[in-house]
Structure 1
Amino acid sequence: MARLLTAQETEVLVDYSMFAMLSGSGGDPLAEERDVAAIGPGGIGFFSAANDHTATVRLECWDGEPPAGGSSGETVTGTVTIAPPPGVVFVGIGTGFSREVSTPFSGPCRAEVVCTGRDEAARLYNEEHELFFEDVERWLVRLWPEEHRNQ
């Protein structure tokens, strides 16, 4: 059974309805916009349901594939490569925001991104015309080393 190695929660400033997690491996994770998230070798692009607010992100690092059912919400999976020294950086697009988070491993990793609160964030932004709200949209990012199988 997989074991949780680290978990860290941080607030991220969302601008232009997006933010990113850069893994130091090059490439622009925001280059290809998706409904929820785009996962690629260079990191993860997060596409929010609202503009100009603060989202909460929980980054979990596991030693293997975590158990299913970690959280309900819209889910995207893929592979990301974390460059040494191990760590990622969460960045805002036009805000100047950045926050470094250490990871216990580098190299190819599987990633699972789960977002909750999107409907409420969209409602606040589009119907209530609220800006700068906090902790409505929540993101869970789970990373674990990719297993290499002999072919």
Structure 2
Amino acid sequence: MASLIRRQECPVNVDHNGWALQDFDDTQVPVLFPEGFEGGTFLTGHPGRLDFYSAGHTHTASLTVEIWDGEPAVPAGEWDEEALAIIVCSSGKLRARGMAAGPMPEAIELSDGPGVWAVRVVCTGRDAVFAQTQQGVVHGAERYIAQFWPNA
């Protein structure tokens, strides 16, 4: 049974319906976000980054990152979206990035060094954030949980 190693929560600035988790060491990412962003696809993996299509245009989403020692169970609850991907991370850290807002200051620690990670991402609040962002900028309506574990 998989064990949780650590959990980290951070806000994510979403703009133009997009955001990404990208290797903290940008020099190891062949194509930097937002180049190649595919609107309409919930989760898309690229070398060194994971792109997310949000249901809201401009808002602050809530992101919980969990690091596990093996594949965990899907988080309890009802989810609007669920997807799996693989990411190669040369630095052992990721950084969230908005389309226009750029990188967020907080590092997301995966490990002490390079690795290949599987990730499951679930999301809720997509209908609410779509409706609310029609009226203005909102905070925390769309919630993501990203579960990372070493890819065997």
TM-score above 0.5, yes or no:
yes
Output aligned runs, 1:1-151, within 5 Å: 1-23=1-23, 24=25, 25-26=28-29, 27-28=31-32, 30=34, 31-33=36-38, 34-73=40-79, 74-84=81-91, 86-98=92-104, 99-104=106-111, 106-125=114-133, 129-147=134-152
Partners in 2 of 1:71 and 1:142 — Cα distance? 15
Structure 1's consecutive aligned runs of 4 or more residues displaced over 2 angstroms after TM superposition are 27-30, 68-72
TM-fit CA distance, 1:28:
4.2
Give secondary structure in 2 for the equivalent of 1:121: helix
Once superposed, what is the RMSD of the aligned Cα atoms?
Answer: 1.8
Unpaired stretches in structure 2, ≥5 consecutive residues: none
Please give the per-residue CA displacement for 1:64-121, whole angstroms capped at 9, x wherever unaligned.
101234443111101111113x110111121244132222253111111111100111
Unpaired stretches in structure 1, ≥5 consecutive residues: none
Percent of matched pairs sharing the same residue = 27
| Number of equivalent positions | 143
The residue type paired with residue 113 of structure 1 is: V
TM-fit CA distance, 1:132:
1.3
Please give the per-residue CA displacement for 1:41-71, whole angstroms capped at 9, x wherever unaligned.
3111111111111000111111110123444
